[in-house]
Structures are given as structure tokens and as C-alpha cells.
Structure 1
């Protein structure tokens, strides 16, 4: 320990193994049977329930909660999976505090909503613990579909298409499936390898062939897929990273927050994962919070998350901001990076305080410096490697309401496509809806 204290910079083993194990346990413990009954009994089972309207996948929330109350959690899970086949992961990572729970009548009346997210996890975990998959494939249609990208949108589309009787080939550039569920979610939100367990469970419906290590534009092409398959669904995510416009970004110790999270998620031994003593995270979204909190949990002494606008403009919800501060993260609002300083490796970040003038963000000239031996950049991602021929709108693939692109028999969904929020639950809805439209077109129904 004394040796670690003498060592500045990015090093591994800042905390003992038992402390790391404790830090990265489940953020929210699963509900026990009795707890689930008590939590479910608070639901008013509203007619025209606002929580259902707020859910991007339109899960019948009052119905599944009533099914829990009646002692049939497996039926509740089926109600959830009918709309959201990744309901297990969404129960863990959805910002329910700004979706279904925010509009819950109990929240409005009492300031304490029904715990919809935890109840959803209780139901889905109960059913997923069984060996048998709850869905069967329809009679084979003879149609083949290529799904490129095995993140939430791609997995959702692949499952729905397979269930409808189509033969699906799922391509992904990484060796493991799951997309951001596997590589981009904080470890304390998805413990015990749940992302991979969910993928295996989803694939057990059958009719889905997997080809990993296949990157669009290198190993496979859109033109080739169009000629080999009846339809193509693109869910390739956002592979590019927005550049930080500040001097010194090429110094050692400045890295992409998404890659930092991915390394952590794939680590078998957190004590071997290096982290700085003084960490600065630049950005205001969920990725920034996940990176900042996990840096603190790995043993960083000081972690500061800096955002160029005010608290109410942050992409991360107020709940996520409070989570960060509760773990010891300092949030610096209204500050934009001016320069990263250091000799070879970073030692501090200089920020300029900002103000909004007539809706435009402007620097005030007032500066502040924060010590940093590690800088994690989380200022958003950009579309990378979109195939030629597709219309790009606002930096994403242009699609209609059902996910159809401007290229015949090609659909897209998830983060790479225009429209919707960059949320797991939104991606699931887009994959599901595109699958239904693909089915309709291929079967001559629309």
C-alpha cells in the first residue's frame, strides 16, 4: 500500500480485491418474493396508465404488476417479453426515474413511485431462470434476413424475425455479442455476466446463426448482403468518437471513456485494471457518469466530472448525477476544457467557465485548473463506416417511422439510426418494430 501511495499516475491495484468486489456488487439488490408482493401492491392499476405511455416499448405495466400480485411472475415476464425481449437488461439499466416511474401516479401524489424497474427485474429473472425458452418459432417462411450488429436493436430484431419463422444471420464485429449491453454499461448495473446470459437465452429460440468478427465495410458489404439475403437490418451503433477540441489531447493518460468502460467490463480481475489517482471525466451523459463512478470505485482518490453547461442541461438524469456524487465524484458545471497540460503525460486540465448568452454558450474568461493524471473523454460518439448509398441525416442513417432506409429492403435501428433517444429500451423498440415491418414487406402484407 505504501508503495502505491508513493506512485502517482495510472496504476493497478489501488484497492485490495475484497474492497473491489464490494464496490462492484449489484447497484440495486433484486427483490425477494415478499418484497415484490409489497412493492406490486402499491400499484393503482391505472386505466390508460401514464407509465405505459412513457415506456418506449409500451409494456403493459399495470398488467404485469397485477400478475405479480396474483402470484404469477412468469406470466408477468411473458407480458414484458412480448413487447421487450431484453426486458431483463432494461430492468437493470433503463432510466426509469425519467420514464415510467417519473409519471407514476404514486410519484406525483407521494414523491415515491411504484418500483417498476425492480418489479420488472423480479419477473424477468424468474422466467429466465427456467431452461425452456418462452417462445416457439412459427412455421418456416423460407425468407432470410441479415442483421448487422448484435447490440440491443439487432438482438431485438433477430429474435422477433426468428420467432416469425424467418432464418436470421446475425453479424457482429466483436468476438462477443451484446453491443453496449456487454461493453458499454457500468459493471455495477449488470453483474454476474448477465449480458451474455441474456444473449444465450435470447438465441435459444433457434433460427439465428451467429457470425462474429465480421465488420461491415471490411469483412462484409451492404451490397453483398443485399444479394445474399431477402432483407438487411443495420444496427451498427456509433463507432466513432467525438474529438475533444483542446490542446494537449494527445498526451498520455487522455483516453476514450467508452474504451475505459469496455476494458473494465471485460476484465476478469479488477485489481489488474489501471486507474489514475486524480481522474477528470469530460462530458455530461450516462457514459460520463458510468466512467466517473467506476474510476472512483476502482480506487481513484479524486474524480471530477466536468460539463460545459448547467445541471439541468446534462444528458445524465438527476438520479444519475446524485449517484455520482454519492460515490464521491465531484461534478463541475458550466466549465469547458481549454487545455490538457503535462510533459509527455497529462498532469492537469484547464477549464474555462461558461455562460449562456441569448441561447449561445460563451466563455467567461475565468479559468480553473484541476489536477489529472487520467482524463476520460465522454463527449459523444459519431457514426463511423456507414455504407455508401444510405442517406445520412443529422449524422445518422435516415429512416422512416418503421426503420426503413432509403435503400430498398434495408432497415436500420438503434444508435446508428435517426430519431429516438440513445437508450437501450429505445433501441429494443426500434429493432422490434423494424422486424415487424420487414416481416410485413417480405410476406406481401404491406
Structure 2
């Protein structure tokens, strides 16, 4: 993109890699210069915690506030009752109102770490406030008449589902109308002129812009971020153990820190720009390091991201724990956490099977060879018996598994 932004917010978005698309870059830039502007991102309450996949857009809201604007985090207390069908192969399970509220309570804890809600500097709203009491006939007459079913069917998020001949319920089809109505209400109530989201939300955002222009003749904008994958093709936010949650009760600060410490070399510079507030020049310098030096950059990445979410003390503690666990006894290789299910342990697990399941050895034969050569240590104690049994008590809060000086895992029960 060759556009040169004049506003600080758009300059940050483009320089650091947050921007995928915008409905009218020039006009939004002008509005931001006149500023301040109010913007929102919506979050449906489908789980008890947000995960790393949400973090990029949370950082966008943080930068939006840091550059002098007003962010809104919109909790989907209403829309969660319907479920967003975008790019999904099947309908979401319906949640009870109590489960939705419980999830919202868990999600709110995270936003308080990234945004300043004091004195109305940021707002946290719930779309149930205006969606729960809608009169259906009035809504159809006043809002529904502005939507073209033909156009809604053309959006890629819906079209991809229909092309695969997968059912799309009338309930789900209404989701697009409700999200569009959110934008209209936020513009009417709070002069909110910008909706941001992942690029999978483009169709929903466009619907909201069209509706608001038709009903209130308002000049509003949409801006999307790229859907991130890691350099090796994995969806950002997923690990071998499942989702990387942002709530400390669901994923410890140490495990969160480890997730970032295990970043692939090729992603370090990009992730520093997106998930930390370090200067771009420093992100580029650290990302260009190679060999053993890139490990120092990964530690900086892990510390910076963990500090934003859990605080500096938690980040320092995680780094200290990692050094203690992996560096005592001459461990100098990459850090990686592996999770073993309690069911597997209950069925009986030998140390050979442990080496295979944690990825240290590609096969049982190779695991036995490594053990025979005398290179295996469990919590820095040598083990030479391939039939040695691994149980829950041994793993405890974490079992350090080392083969030689460069292959290490922190094994946990999950």
C-alpha cells in the first residue's frame, strides 16, 4: 500500500503491519486529523476467555487510544445468542444467558490490562442493551428493508459455506443484520464512526456502513487487520496444547511466556511490531538477528508481550523460571512446553513413549537409542531404563526432559 498516512493512528497501523483494508483511507485519515474519533471492535462471548488470536485487534484498540482517540469494546451479549456464521462450517452451539454473562465477565478482565476505562476514556458496552428488546415487526420494517439478500449471499464468508453445500440457518443469516445494527446504534448513541476487525469481518462491516448511511446518512468507516498465520502456516494463537488463552486462570503467565519464547525465527520481527510497543527500528533490528542471538530477541518478545498482559513481575518470574529449569545442568537449547493428557498417564506411559509424544524422538527405536547412549535426564537426573514409568506424581508442576545439551521439553499434565 503506497498511501502515506498523515494521522498518527493510521501511520502506526501501516508501519507496524496492522492494516489489511479500509473502506476510505483518505477520508478516515482526514477524520483522524480533525479527531478525536470513536471506534469499536465487537467480541462475541463464545468462551470464558479471549485467546491470542484476539490479541492483534486488542493491540489495535490500544494504539487507537494511545494516539488520542476513543475506543469501545463491544461485548456481544445479544449477538452471541445467534452466533457468527462467518467462515464456519457449521452452526455454533447456542449458549444460555447465564453462560454468556459468565464468559463476558472473564473477557472483561483482559481488556482492563490494555485499555484505560477511567473517566470515559474507553467504553465497554454490551449489545444486549439494544438487541434484547427489539420489536421484531418494527425491526423488519425499519431495518430489514435496507438489506439485499442477493448481496448478503455474495459475501465470501457466506458464499464459501453455501458453495460447500453446508446448511446456513435463518438464525445465523440474521447475524449480519444484527451486527450491522450494532454499528448504527453506536453511531447514533456515541458518534462512533469506525468499526475495526479481522479481515473475515469485512462483509459484516460493509453491511453496517451501508445501513448507517441509508438510515442516518452518516459518514462512517471500516478498517480490517490481516488474518495472521505463522511462517510455517499455522493459525496464529494455536499451539499443540490447544488455544493460547489470555486469562491467567486458564493459561499460566509462565505458559503464555513460553508460547512467545517458542516463536519461529522468521516471525520474531513481525510479532515484535504487532504485539509489543517497541520502536519499529528496534523490532527490525531484533528480527534480523540469527543463530543464537535470535533467542535473545525471542526472550525480549516474550517479556514485552507478557508484561502487557500479566505485568512486569509475572514476565520476570516466567523468564527466571525458564532459566532455572532449562539452564541448570547445561541446558542451552530452545525452550518448549509439551502437554500430556491425564488419560494417557493413567493408561501407563514409559519414558520411551514420553520421548516420542513430546517430539524429542521421532520413533520408539530412536528413543531407545538415545537412552542407550546415556543422554537422557529427567529433572537433571540420568535415566537409563527404557521401561522407566512416567506418572502424574513425577510430572508434578512440570517435568524437565533433556536429551543431550540441546533437546529439552517442559512436560505438563493437561
Under a length normalisation based on structure 2, what TM-score does the superposition of the two structures give?
A: 0.30
Greater helix proportion = 2
Which is higher, the Rg of structure 1 or of structure 2?
2
Tell me which of the two structures has the higher relative contact order, counting C-alpha pairs closer than 8 angstroms and 6 or more residues apart. 1
